[in-house]
Each structure stands twice: as C-alpha cells, then as structure tokens.
Amino acid sequence: MRQRSVILFLLAFFALSSLVFAAEDSHQGTHEHVNLGEILSLYSTIPFIGILLSIALLPLFTPEFWHHHFGKVSAFWATAIAIPLIVAHKGVALHSFLDILIADYIPFIILLWGLFTISGGILLRGSLRGTPIVNTIMIIIGTILASWMGTTGAAMLLIRPFLRANSYRKNRAFMVVFFIFLVANIGGALTPVGDPPLFLGFLHGVPFFWTFHILPHMLVAALILLAIYFVVDTYYYRREVHSNEMDEGDKKPLSLVGGYNFIFLAGVIGSVIWSGLVNWGEVNTFGVVRSIQEWARDGFIILMGILSLVFTASQIREDNEFTWFPIKEVAYLFAGIFITMTPCLLLLLAGSKGALGFIIGTVKEPFHYFWVTGVLSSFLDNAPTYLTFFTSALGNFYPSTPEPIAVSRLISENPTYLMAVSAGAVFFGANTYIGNAPNFMVRSIAEEAGTPMPSFFGYMLKYSIVFLVPVFIIVTIIFF
C-alpha cells in the first residue's frame, strides 16, 4: 500500500511538473537558437529537487521499494524534465541533454567504473587493526594521495582496506564520513588531477602547480578535521574497550595481493593528465563536439578496467567482497541527477541574464566567491560551477580581455579570487553525498560492507553542518 502511494504521488508530481513546463514554455516560443538558460524559470529545478528528496527520503520511509526500484525513480525524474522541455524547445533542449550526457556523464561514469573495477582487484590481507592512530594515518595517506591520483582514485583504493581494518569496531559510520570529508574531497585541492574543477582551470590556462597556493587553506581544514576525527575515534574506541564490545580476532601478517593493478591505475591517471596536454582535433557526436583525445582517454580507461578483470583472479575480488551493485547504483542515480541538473546548470551559466542572476550579481568579494561557489558545488556539478565563477571573476576584472591574458593577470593581480573559487568548488563537495563523484560510491560500498550510513539529510545535519561549516568559516576568516 505504501509503495502504491509513493508511485501515485510521483505520477501526480510528474503530471504537475509537465503542465508547469508546458504552460511556461508556451509563452516563450520554440526558437532553435534560443538560450534556454535565459528563459527557463526556477520551476525547471523542480525535478532536480524531486530526485534529491527521493534519494533523501525514500530509503528512510520505503527502503524495500527504494532498493528494488531506485533506477525507475531516477528515470522518472529524468523523464519529468526531459520530455516537457524537448516538446517545448525541441532541438535546442535535446542538444542540452545530449551535451551533459555525452560530454559530462559518460566520461564521469567511465572514470568511476575504471577506478572502481581496478581498485577492486587490490586486496590487503592480514590483521590491520583500526585503532584511532591507524585510522588517522590511513586517512592522512588518502588525503595526500588524493591530489596525485584524484579524489576518486584515492577513495576507491583505500575505502575497502579502511572498512576491513575497522570491521571489528561497533561505531563506524563517523569514520566513513570523515573519510569522505578528507580523502574524497578536501585532499584533492593541490593539483588539477585531484578534482575535476581544477583540471578545468588547468585547461583554461591556470598553471599545473599554481593550485599549490591552496595548500595553506587545505592544511587548515584538514588538520582541524583530523584532530576532531582522532578525538571522536579515541572516545568511541575507549568506550568499546571499556564495555568489552570489541572482538580482536586472530592476528595475521599484512600482505598485498593484486599489486599489478597499480599499473592499470597509473594508466588511468596518466590518461587523464595526457588528455589535457594534447590536441588531436574534435569530433561531432549527435551534435555534441568533443575532442578526440577525450574519447581516446575514455576508451583507454575502459581498456585498463578490462585488463584488470582479465588478469585479476576472481578469488581476489571475492575475498575483497567486490560486487557490481555500488557502481550500478551510482550509474542509475547519477544519470537522473545529471539530466535533472541540466536546467540548473543552464540557469547558472546564463549569468545575470538567467533566473539565478540575482545570486551571481551579488558575488563581489573573495568570501562571496568561496561560499557561493561552494554551496552550489554541494548540490550541482562542481566543474561547471567552478567555470561559471572563474569566468565571472575574469569578466569583472578584465572585461573584453582575451582569456589567456585575463587568466594571467588574475593570477598575478587578484589571486585570492581564484583561490576562493578553487577552494570552494573542492572543499564544499564534502557537504552532501552528491557533492563529489566518490562520495556516493564510498557510502554505497560502506553500506554493502555492513556499515550503517546516515541518510542524505542525516549526513548533512549530523556531520557536514556540525563539522564542515565551522571549518569553512575558519578558513574564510583566515584567508578570504
């Protein structure tokens, strides 16, 4: 009965949203060259809000329905926005959806699949015990690695050993949350390899090692969070020892199995760097223009994943408790998120001419750039959010100046603004499960391994608002 009520509610909401879009767009006309971001209203964000609420609430109120039908829910919300806009604006709307799927979603899920597959073939055997000191060291290592192999790569490499080391602990959810804070987000702030928005800045002329200017910001945030984590972990560890809740089990020596997968992992990371350094021209795919080297990179990542599957014994993956469900869940849900997010990004990219212009027009000071870029990056794709405010800063300071010259002058004359945009896009991704690519994946792997994770809103209310927001305020006071 409850499942039927949920389905009826979703159908009713779909009908309502379709009518709203149809009524709205009938007044706009259907011009092939119209800029959707300039004419869409805030109503177009309803399906995006809907899929976020579905992710947040349905697992709480209808867990069985959600577990079996999350893909259908994702498809429903994607359809709720795609069909009305395509009917109203035909080719220009279709192109917008194809653009985000081909240029953003496909490389996103290919990279995630490759790292997930390869890291699943690396197994750390033995009795690594998750004490507060050991856990803190593992998170520090992951935080350092994140800038050099990407937040996704570092998170996928270390999350299973981290979970296995703490499998004997009773309170584990907070450990995974701080892992997400540091390894899956903040640790990726130092190089363009660390996080997609920084790589986008690199493609637009920001020098590769310039992002090391964010090192002080990252150290302040990371050290505070590590100190908090160590205190909290020590508290729970001592309480578990005192109450005899821990089962140490048999101790076995540590050994690494499947280490040759690091070769495939290096291949993935190298292909990402390489794709930003060469120019092989462009190719048109269903009206979406992408560079040939980007397609080559995606194909190479798939090849690395296949080679990992071929050369890694199935027993290693079984011992690693590897299944395809986490990547399946992420693929289905993020397909819906990317599609429903399209109007939000169009509104954002329209700048002062769009319905979100009232936000963009108020961004003047460095702390404005830090917080507005950050808050939007908590829920939207942080790469286009970074690009929007990066471009806004260039336009505010150097209007009508060629981009290479404007970027060079911004770095030399007003670097604080670029630091604010860069740090905001990277740091704030930790605020929600969807703020950065590996967050949801880490949560899914943790839950599959038996660690009960907080809900979407529980994560924000119990952890990110309590721990991250005060840290970001401190970063603002010190640097912006």
Task: Look at residues 48, 74, 103 and tell me which one is the last residue of a structural domain.
Answer: 103
Q: Which residues contact 250 (CB under 8 A, 6 or more apart)?
A: 127
Same domain, 367 and 450: yes
Same domain, 70 and 129: no
What does DSSP assign to residue 428?
A: G
Distance set, CA 318 to CA 120, 127, 388, 451 (Å): 9, 18, 44, 18
Which residue is it, tokens 């702390």?
367
Same domain, 376 and 468: yes
Other beta carbons less than 10 A from residue 168's beta carbon: 16
Establish if 37 belongs to a structural domain.
Answer: yes
The encoded tokens of residue 234 equal 């020590």
Establish if 327 belongs to a structural domain.
Answer: no
Other beta carbons less than 10 A from residue 161's beta carbon: 22
Nearest to 348 by CA among 379, 326, 325, 327: 379
Report the residue count for the chain.
480
Q: Label residue 254 exposed, middle or buried (CB < 10 Å: 0-12, 13-18, 19+).
A: exposed
Res 60: pLDDT: 82
Establish if 268 belongs to a structural domain.
Answer: no
Same domain, 51 and 130: no
Establish if 86 belongs to a structural domain.
Answer: yes
Same domain, 250 and 396: yes
Establish if 296 belongs to a structural domain.
Answer: no
Query: How many domains does the structure of the chain reveal?
Result: 2
**Integer distance in angstroms from the first to the last C-alpha of the chain?**
53
Same domain, 235 and 97: no
Establish if 172 belongs to a structural domain.
Answer: yes
Q: What are phi and psi of 250, to 5 degrees?
A: -75, 135
Other beta carbons less than 10 A from residue 332's beta carbon: 16
Same domain, 99 and 130: no
Same domain, 98 and 126: no
Same domain, 207 and 317: yes
Same domain, 400 and 369: yes
**pLDDT averages per 10-residue partition of the chain, 480 residues:** 47 47 45 71 89 87 88 93 89 88 87 88 80 94 90 88 89 95 94 84 84 95 97 91 60 79 90 85 88 92 95 89 86 90 81 75 88 89 79 80 85 93 94 87 90 92 95 96
The span from the CA of 56 to the CA of 232, in Å, is: 26
The span from the CA of 196 to the CA of 294, in Å, is: 14
Establish if 156 belongs to a structural domain.
Answer: yes
Task: Look at residues 43, 71, 103 and tell me which one is the last residue of a structural domain.
Answer: 103
The span from the CA of 192 to the CA of 196, in Å, is: 7
Establish if 24 belongs to a structural domain.
Answer: yes
**Residue 16 is part of which domain span?**
2-103
Res 249: pLDDT: 53
Same domain, 66 and 168: no
Q: Which residues contact 270 (CB under 8 A, 6 or more apart)?
A: none
Task: Look at residues 103, 132, 159 and tell me which one is the last residue of a structural domain.
Answer: 103
Same domain, 318 and 185: yes
The span from the CA of 155 to the CA of 149, in Å, is: 10
Our CA angle for 27, 31, 36, nearest 5°, is 75
The span from the CA of 130 to the CA of 61, in Å, is: 33
